[in-house]
Amino acid sequence: MSEFDLGFSASLTNDAGSFKLLELPPELCKLIEASVETLSPLRLSIKGQSGEDAVLCTNDATYTIRSVVLSNSMLIVTPSSSSSEDTVVIRDQVNEILELTPAVPKLHRLSILLRGKEYDDIHDSEDLQSSSEPASRAGLSYAAARATIQASDAELARGLRLQRILDIHGTLRPIAPAYLTSILESILNLLVSQSMSPSSVPLEDVTATLADENEISRAVSTQVMEWFGEVRNGVWTMDVESVLSEIGLGILRQHKDDPIEHDMLMAKWKSAVGDTFEDSVSLRLLSGNYLVSPGLMGSGDLLTYFPSSALPVDPPSRFIDLFLTRPRWKADEIGPFLSDIAVNTKERDKLLLKYTRATTDSQGVWYTKK
């Protein structure tokens, strides 16, 4: 075992409190080791505004930073710059380590920061972002969102896609839901009228036609098509289920306070997507966005618009809202309303164990407030 002479650094007083020990989870440790071995750059960033708990972000993941107090102090030592190679000096002592745990990115702040900034076909002109646009309708810059939102770049990109937020010349604007539904219906009608296969759609032809016939900006239609499929070499492969899901949500949104019968919803939905796609319509595509209640006098089930995205993001408040809405939930009903606040199914089960009480009867497992 090597031996070293131990001394005190001349800058010990100035260095005190300037060192932190960060414990790396296995996957992050492997990421750093791979970056060192391949000499490829790795970007790590710590994000957090005043009053927020800090998080650490890699390119595609977010970790909560939590301080853990040590039972024994640890000394931070470095080689001496003025003595022999066998001398190390004490620079600082630490009484805690910083622990990293996987976290759900805080993408809900996007809807808060962009409230009232919707892009639609009524108020927005062809140039998309005129210099005379009122400040009240101006959006948030992508650079500001990247610095403010506690999420990795990949998670932020996914959040913009899932929350249907347009990037207009570097400015973020959520698209108005009704306008989005209208665009998707126009795309489906165009595919049918031109006998185009959903798996091989020429992007340029579709965006040009939508601009000429429907006055939909190419910049907008291109991003919408990227949200609902994959574009490669100028060819769009449509994600049929995601398109049908959004159109179904457009119908369901009209029934937040006025439930709609299941059969009526399905009829309107199939009519909106047309004969070509009606066989792919399924209620499971709306999972996590509705509540089911029995109809009156033996009529069919009633569906009420109830999106999980509108619920609180912190678990205690989320469960309070869920149990204020219903005193008990079936296992398969409550699951979709927890997927956006849990990193994975294991974390979701931990939340259920912490905040609910499970009982079993002839109908299966039920969860009630603990």
Three-state DSSP at 96 gives: strand
Helix residue ranges, H only, the chain: 12-15, 26-38, 108-113, 142-148, 153-162, 177-193, 203-214, 218-227, 240-252, 262-273, 315-325, 331-334, 345-355
Q: Is it the case that residue 228 has pLDDT exceeding 90?
A: yes
Mean pLDDT score of the chain: 89
Q: Is it the case that residue 52 has pLDDT exceeding 90?
A: no
Do 134 and 124 form a contact (C-beta atoms < 8 A)? no
Q: What is the mean pLDDT of residues 121-147?
A: 65
* Confidence category of residue 129, pLDDT binned at 50, 70, 90: very low
Q: What is the mean pLDDT of residues 300-326?
A: 94
Higher pLDDT, 308 or 1: 308
The Cα 115–Cα 99 span in angstroms is 34
* Confidence category of residue 134, pLDDT binned at 50, 70, 90: very low
pLDDT in tens, 316-358: 999 999 999 999 999 889 999 999 999 889 999 999 999 999 9
* Confidence category of residue 152, pLDDT binned at 50, 70, 90: very high
Among the residue ranges 34-43, 85-94, 95-104, 184-193, the one predicted with the least confidence is 85-94
Give percent of the chain with pLDDT exceeding 90. Answer: 69
pLDDT in tens, 77-107: 888 777 667 788 888 888 899 999 999 999 9
Give percent of the chain with pLDDT exceeding 70. Answer: 93
The Cα 30–Cα 129 span in angstroms is 44
pLDDT of residue 298: 61
N-term to C-term CA, the chain: 56
The Cα 300–Cα 214 span in angstroms is 38
Q: The whole model's pTM is what? A: 0.82
pLDDT of residue 79: 83
Sign of CA dihedral 130, 173, 110, 231: negative
Q: What is the mean pLDDT of residues 280-303?
A: 87
pLDDT in tens, 6-22: 777 777 677 777 788 89
Q: Is it the case that residue 140 has pLDDT exceeding 60?
A: yes
Q: Is it the case that residue 252 has pLDDT exceeding 60?
A: yes
CA 27 to each of CA 53, 77, 102, 213, 252: distance values in angstroms, whole numbers, following the listed order: 22, 27, 10, 50, 41
pLDDT of residue 83: 66
Q: Is it the case that residue 167 has pLDDT exceeding 90?
A: yes
Q: Is it the case that residue 42 has pLDDT exceeding 60?
A: yes
pLDDT of residue 17: 74
Do 286 and 279 form a contact (C-beta atoms < 8 A)? no
pLDDT of residue 304: 94
pLDDT of residue 271: 95
Residue 341's nearest CA partner among 177, 42, 103 is 103
Q: Is it the case that residue 131 has pLDDT exceeding 60?
A: no
pLDDT of residue 126: 47
Q: Tokens 């089930």 — which residue?
A: 301
* Confidence category of residue 130, pLDDT binned at 50, 70, 90: very low
Q: Is it the case that residue 123 has pLDDT exceeding 70?
A: no
Buried/exposed 12-40: b ≥16 CB within 10 Å, e otherwise: eeebeeeeeeeebeeebeebeeeeeeeee
pLDDT of residue 127: 45
